[in-house]
Amino acid sequence: MDSTKLLELLEHEISEFITEKPAPRKEVMSTNTHIILKEFKRAGILMFDEDAKRLPLSP
């Protein structure tokens, strides 16, 4: 799965959560979501230890 598809899936799941949980409450006037992704490479150079474990992607 490429990063664009992953980001689209993540945005969809977040929007579904917001729609189902806080948005229906009468106290909520609006919502705003910010997605911050951790940087693993910059200009092709790894930004973490070779021994560091990345979490596996789970759909």
Q: Tell me the per-residue pLDDT of 13-46, one tens digit each, with 9 for 90 and over.
A: 888 888 888 878 888 788 787 777 766 777 877 6
- Give the H/E segment covering residue 7: helix 3-20
Report the alpha-carbon distance of residue 3 to residue 43 in Å, rounded.
16
59 pLDDT band, cuts 50/70/90, is low
Full-model pTM:
0.43
Pairing of strands 45-46, 41-42: antiparallel
At residue 24, the 3 state secondary structure works out as coil
Q: What letter would DSSP give residue 21? A: T
Q: Is the pLDDT of residue 5 over 80?
A: yes
Cα 20 versus chain centre, distance: 18
